[in-house]
Amino acid sequence: MAQSVFGRQLNSFISARRLKTSSLRRGRLIASWLFPLPAILVVAVMLAYPVGYTVWLSLHDLSPFNLENPEWIGTENYAALLKDTRFHAALERTAYFTLGALALQVALGLGMALLFNHNFVGRGVVRTLFLLPMVATPVAMSLIWMLILNPVDGVANWILETLGLPPQLWLNSADSVLPTLILMDTWQWSPLVMLMILAGMTALPHEPFEAAAIDGASWWQSFRFLMLPMLRPTIMVALMFRSIDCLKTFDIIYGTTQGGPGFASETLNLYIYKTGFDYFRLGYAAAALVVFFTLVLSVSLLLIILRRRTEAAA
């Protein structure tokens, strides 16, 4: 008798628990959908739909004159892109700008991180000040750069002349415009690369370096054979972020040259912008866009895979 009451109680306790866990599980399922629902909607409406629409649009002829009834032309836009020399030149300039900026920023960032890895008076303050270029409104800074780099009365040429160096045409010559833009991008972003690498350096273990010092390794040997391989994953992350953004650079180019002089600084982003919003060849711009974002996505995917590999190796 007593046992069966206890048994009943036990049974009801167990079923209550079961009920509780199942309702918990259902609550969990609902929560796991409800919490991200607004974000899913934003992504669907603001990001997925436009990308799908761009792909659809790239197979059509569309201008403001036939906004209501775009004409299906199949892959004609893509065929035209293959023959478009201005598009090819823009592609080359994008590669040149990206590779140049990456090389300079990683080299400078690594060098600066080595400097900042030492203790010195005012280290914290200088480190904080180095945050300023990356948050200063790029288009405003590009206008300031135009004044500084003005070939006639800019302060940059005055400094060069004072040092006994020849003045430059900077943004005003087809030969020097891309290197100058790379320099501007380096000014803005190499501090970020430096801070990323510095964070990686700070996290490195001390023991291997102490062991190397005891074994009589030179500074260069311990940098080249210890630090650099251990920093590989960090440098890969920096490369990933910088290459994604360099490929897409717009503000500092449009803010200064708008692609000029001539087409000398017209990168892919600029070319697509002009095709779409200046010439209103919307379908053609969409086809160029599909090529552009496929390129950016492939490069980032490649770097993500490479990074996984360096991490697995390390």
Chain residues 75-134 in contact with other proteins, contact rule CB under 8 A: 112, 115, 118, 120, 126, 128-134
What is the b/e burial string over 173-205, where b = at least 16 CB atoms within 10 angstroms of the residue's CB? eeebbbebbbbbbbbbbbbbbbbbbbebbeeee
Q: Residue 228, interface with other proteins (CB under 8 A)?
A: no
Looking at residues 164 to 183 of the shown chain, list those that interact with other proteins (rule: CB under 8 A).
none
Specify the DSSP class assigned to residue 261: S
Nearer to other proteins, 7 or 27 (CB): 27
Among 7, 50, 229, 262, binds other proteins (CB under 8 A): 50
Q: Residue 196, interface with other proteins (CB under 8 A)?
A: yes
Nearer to other proteins, 40 or 174 (CB): 40
Q: Residue 192, interface with other proteins (CB under 8 A)?
A: yes
List C-alpha distances in Å: 303 to 238, 296, 309, 310: 10, 11, 10, 10
Question: Phi and psi for 176 in degrees, rounded to 5?
Answer: -105, -5
Residues 198, 200, 206, 207, CA torsion sign:
negative
In the numeric block, which tokens belong to residue 264? 């000398």
Q: Residue 226, interface with other proteins (CB under 8 A)?
A: no
Among 59, 100, 269, 274, binds other proteins (CB under 8 A): 269
Q: How far is the CB of 169 from other proteins (least distance, A)?
A: 17
In the numeric block, which tokens belong to residue 126? 């200088």
Looking at residues 137 to 166 of the shown chain, list those that interact with other proteins (rule: CB under 8 A).
137-141, 143-148, 153, 155, 158, 162
The residues facing 61 across adjacent strands are 71
Nearer to other proteins, 8 or 20 (CB): 20
- Find the part of the chain contacting other proteins (CB under 8 A) among 6-14, 45-53, 73-81, 169-177: 45-53
Q: How far is the CB of 65 from other proteins (least distance, A)?
A: 13
Q: Residue 211, interface with other proteins (CB under 8 A)?
A: no
- Find the part of the chain contacting other proteins (CB under 8 A) among 4-12, 97-105, 136-144, 169-177: 136-144
Q: How far is the CB of 284 from other proteins (least distance, A)?
A: 11
Q: What is the three-class DSSP state of 60?
A: strand
Nearer to other proteins, 211 or 301 (CB): 301
Q: Residue 16, interface with other proteins (CB under 8 A)?
A: no
Residue 309: other Cβ atoms inside 10 A: 13
Distance, CA of 58 to CA of 256 (rounded, Å):
30
Short-list 288, 300, 310, CA closest to 79: 288
Residue 73, classified by CB atoms within 10 Å of its CB into exposed (0-12), middle (13-18) or buried (19+), is middle
Residue 83: other Cβ atoms inside 10 A: 8
In the numeric block, which tokens belong to residue 175? 């030969």
Nearer to other proteins, 40 or 211 (CB): 40
